[in-house]
Amino acid sequence: MRTLYFLAVLAVYSLSGFAQSPDAVRMEDEKLLAYRRAAAPYVAKARATYPAAKRRFLAGLPPGHTFAVMVRLQVIDHAKKEVQQADVFVDVHAIKNGKVYGRINSPMPIAGYKRGELISVSESEIINWLIARPDGSEEGNYVGKFLDHYKPK
């Protein structure tokens, strides 16, 4: 599961038919929708438990513990005429006024973002969270734990 924390890019999908055949786009769209449907209960659990995790972060985590949230980034690739998405973890530095501030901690398969980049996102965009402990164990990461066993059909 710790691997998911560092390599948390879940999916990059073309959401436009410009660069692909209609059948290929339909298949990608179906895979994306199937993944989102299967992951939905885990995203819901992560969102429901996020406020308690946020309170713990704001109160101060023990030494060596880190707090990260997963968000879905989107970018329009004008050259390929497609929209790409990636679910990435962001190491949280601060949470203020409904926004999370931190650094991307995932490899980036889409243009426009890079690992280590500082970003801010709305708390409403959070789809997962985790608190990593120094011993490698973690709390939360409901979507990541689901992905450990997810087998697309």
Q: Which two tokens stand for residue 100?
A: 């999370």
- The predicted structure's pLDDT at residue 33: 86
> What band does 23 get if pLDDT is binned at 50, 70 and 90?
very low
Q: Which two tokens stand for residue 117?
A: 């980049």
CB 91 within 8 A of CB 55: no
Residue ranges in the chain assigned as alpha helix (H): 2-6, 22-59, 142-147
Rounded CA-CA distance 69/91 in Å is 7
CB 66 within 8 A of CB 102: no
Q: What is the mean pLDDT of residues 87-93?
A: 95
Rounded CA-CA distance 40/48 in Å is 12
pTM comes to 0.79
Tell me the pLDDT tens digit for each residue of 97-108: 999 999 999 877
User: Chain-centre distance of CA 95, in angstroms?
Assistant: 17
Q: Phi and psi at residue 111, in whole multiples of 5°?
A: -70, 155
β-strand partners of 85: 74
Q: Which residues contact 56 (CB under 8 A, 6 or more apart)?
A: 67, 131
Q: What is the mean pLDDT of the chain?
A: 82
Tell me the pLDDT tens digit for each residue of 39-81: 999 999 999 999 999 999 999 999 999 999 999 998 887 777 7
Rounded CA-CA distance 150/127 in Å is 17
* Strand, helix or coil for residue 83: strand
**CA-only gyration radius of the chain, Å:** 16
Is a pLDDT exceeding 50 seen at residue 5?
Answer: no
> What band does 151 get if pLDDT is binned at 50, 70 and 90?
confident
